[in-house]
Amino acid sequence: MSSEVVLPKSGNKEDIYNHLLEQMPYLFPEGDHYLSLLSNFSALLKESFPVISWVGFYLVSDEKLVLGPFQGKIACTEIQSGRGVCGKVMVTRETEIVANVHEFPGHIACDSGSNSEIVVPLVKDGILLGVLDLDSYEFSAFDEVDKKYLEQMVGQLLSTTTIPKI
């Protein structure tokens, strides 16, 4: 990807997600290195939605998650399976929406300012490769609309990207 990305200046959340989905084939072409794609994917979301305080990937390595490309403050480098929201999603492989992280048992607070989050699993050919984690300083920042579109975006990303075993 070489040309500048034009992001919508206004519109509701669905309009913005639809715009991003339309642009994805050009932004994330087959053949680009997976680290570059995951980095730009994080940047695209962070720039598109000001409500996001942190967005990034945790990738499966052995039985744990390790910090991958992200946008935001310095974060926890390793998350054990079953721990926190990301660790739960590693087990359930289902998207988790957390309206208030302070009420989530075992939540890992990398940034004490974070109040809500959504975590989407990265599953390709039945194999869990990692998770996409989005945090916000607002409570209830993410909902079923985010779940629907983020799952679509992740599916599209994984269809053209190979994330190797790390």
46 forms part of the interface with ligand SME (CB under 6 A): no
Nearer to ligand SME, 3 or 112 (CB): 112
* Residue 86 touches ligand SME, criterion: CB under 6 A: yes
Can you list the pairs that 13-20 forms with residues at least 24 positions away whose Cβ atoms lie under 8 Å?
A: 13/49, 13/145, 13/146, 13/149, 14/145, 14/149, 16/48, 16/49, 17/145, 17/149, 17/152, 17/153, 18/149, 20/44, 20/45, 20/48, 20/149, 20/153
Q: What is the contact mask toward ligand SME in residues 113 to 142, using x (rule: CB under 6 A)? A: -x--x---------------x-x-------
Interaction between residue 163 and ligand SME (CB under 6 A): no
**Binding region for ligand SME (CB under 6 A):** 54, 75-76, 79, 84-86, 107-108, 110, 114, 117, 133, 135
